Amino acid sequence: MAQARSNRAHHALVELERAGCVSGIVTQNVDGLHEAAGSARVLPLHGDMSSVVCLDCRFSEPRAGFDQRLADTNPGYLESARVTFDMVNPDGDVELPQELVERFVMPGCARCGSLRLKPDVVYFGESVPGGRREAASELLAESTSLLVAGSSLAVMSGYKFVIDARRAGKQVAVINGGPGRADDKVDVLWRIGVAEAFNALLDELGL
């Protein structure tokens, strides 16, 4: 994920935001690419893989800093734990020799020392933090309409914005290359790839 780069759709949203056409972005992605592209107002609904959070005290630290603490606590470990293709299970997990498992030392939370740490993202079955939901709802309330781009809205946390926008009498548009959960509830449905759609929108707006 660290090698991922912002694409044309990310940069198009930056241009639309600067032109006053987009008031902000609520994203279900956890890759930080909207911020990397230059969008000013981004709310990562499901968190961001660039941070690690403590499940006990909720302290958050940059992933890069935590990775360095991992390396400092386990010198030489990464080099000795080389993974080959046959060690990878179908679900992406890796079978490591027991000796390597026992040798690994987990650094604790930088604030409270707890070992209950995880990437600061919302996994399936977890709830979006209340403060994040409220901030997204405030952004929707400030906006005149809702544009959904590149999402089937299969997850309720995203689909709910369409429901809330419709209840508030706001227009809703969806740009997506395939079918989605809210297709019968929107004012405009554009069945097209997101990058192609944004290129056309920018041309139409002269941006």
Handedness of CA 11, 134, 139, 147 (dihedral sign): positive
* Residue that is written with structure tokens 């919302």 in the block: 122
Residue 11 annotated in active site: no
Residue 193 identity:
G
* 21 assigned to a ligand binding site: no
Which of 10, 11, 34, 46 is labelled catalytic?
A: 46
CA nearest to 49, candidates 33, 71, 68: 33
* Residue that is written with structure tokens 């690994």 in the block: 104
Judge contact between 178 and 192, C-beta under 8 A: no
Q: Which three-class secondary structure state does DSSP give residue 51?
A: strand
From the annotation, which residues make up the binding site? 54, 57, 109, 112
**Residues that are catalytic:** 46
From the annotation, which residues make up the binding site for Zn(2+)? 54, 57, 109, 112
